[in-house]
Chains A and B, each alone.
Chain A
């Protein structure tokens, strides 16, 4: 199964995210979730980014929080709403909002 998980908060992802497995796993960072892609913790990227998944972050939420694409970790692909629609229809099948 191809599962897309939306993360819209920072620092309060539930245990569920750690337990989720899928043939193809995508983690889609929106709203405050984009801080996982832009903020370093003790000089290192967020631990979430170590997970075996493909990472995406919504450009509008990055910019509205004062970041630019150059602030985004290299593991994370920046997408806009159009890209998100394509992701939903073409790359993943099921979705969870955590």
Chain B
């Protein structure tokens, strides 16, 4: 088995790309790989807690909590989050916050890296 690092910059709900990244992470975890997910730019909103579930909306808080429970490392860019006005206490349980060096370190220790840009 290997390690996959996914860096995502696309927005929560605004684009289906973040949904794609979470589904890919889930498939990789289920196959026994380790997965790190780095959230930057608008993707940092994925690590904000109390996301409301609407019928026709994409809802990722639940699947991400499950994946964290299975050992996926999810880390949001601290600066990007603060710039968007949400702070440590707003962060989803199990999600970490770091500066970008966390992402670089994760990439260097990964077997595969996928960098998914923003819109």
Contact = CB atoms under 8 A, between A and B. Distances in A.
A31 B4 CA distance: 21
What size tier do the contact residues of chain A reach?
10 to 19
Contacts of A31: 16-17, 20
Interface string B15-42: 0110010011011101101000000000
Contacts of A6: 114, 116
Contacts of B115: 95, 97
Interface string B53-75: 00000000000000000000000
B98 interface: no
B2 interface: yes
A81 B4 CA distance: 14
Contacts of B113: 94-95
Interface in A25-59: 30-31
Given A31-B20, A82-B27, A84-B27, A89 B114 contact: no
B111 interface: yes
Given A81-B24, A81-B26, A84-B24, A89 B16 contact: no
B116 A97 contact: yes
Interface string A72-98: 000000000110111011000111010
Contact of A97 (B30, B31, B114): B114
Contacts of B24: 81, 84-85
Contacts of B26: 81
A84 B17 CA distance: 15
B14 interface: no
Contacts of B28: 85, 88
B67 to A, nearest CB: 13
Contacts of A89: 2, 4, 33, 111-112
Given A81-B27, A88-B112, A89-B4, 10 more contacts: A8-B17, A30-B20, A31-B16, A81-B26, A82-B31, A84-B27, A85-B24, A89-B33, A95-B115, A97-B117
